């Protein structure tokens, strides 16, 4: 295998939004770089199950719920 065809993996430190850190191997930056996350699985609603409110502009949300609401109900 060609050596120049592979990325340079090295150790970096990832800092989560709450200040906790962990070390991982990555191609990001230079060796021993620090990657500060703005969004992470501990805070983002996609992972935490957070709920958001939708603004109903022109009845679009209510029309969607009327048409597809049966799929969402458990």
Which has the higher per-residue pLDDT, 52 or 48?
48
**26 occurs within a structural domain:** yes
Number of structural domains in the chain: 1
Domain that holds residue 25: 7-40
**25 occurs within a structural domain:** yes
CB atoms near residue 12 (< 10 Å)? 19
**2 occurs within a structural domain:** no
Percent of the chain with pLDDT over 70: 80
**60 occurs within a structural domain:** no
Q: Say if residues 41 and 20 touch (Cβ distance below 8 Å).
A: no
pLDDT at 65 over 70: yes
Check residue 28 and give its pLDDT.
92
Q: Is 10 helix (H, G, I), strand (E, B) or coil?
A: strand
What value does the mean pLDDT take over residues 22-50? 85
**64 occurs within a structural domain:** no
**30 occurs within a structural domain:** yes
């Amino acid at each position: 295998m060609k050596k120049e065809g592979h990325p340079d993996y090295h150790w970096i430190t990832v800092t989560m939004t709450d200040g906790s850190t962990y070390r991982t191997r990555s191609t990001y930056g230079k060796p021993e770089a620090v990657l500060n996350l703005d969004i992470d699985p501990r805070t983002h609603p996609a992972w935490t199950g957070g709920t958001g409110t939708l603004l109903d502009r022109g009845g679009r949300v209510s029309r969607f719920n009327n048409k597809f609401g049966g799929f969402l109900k458990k």
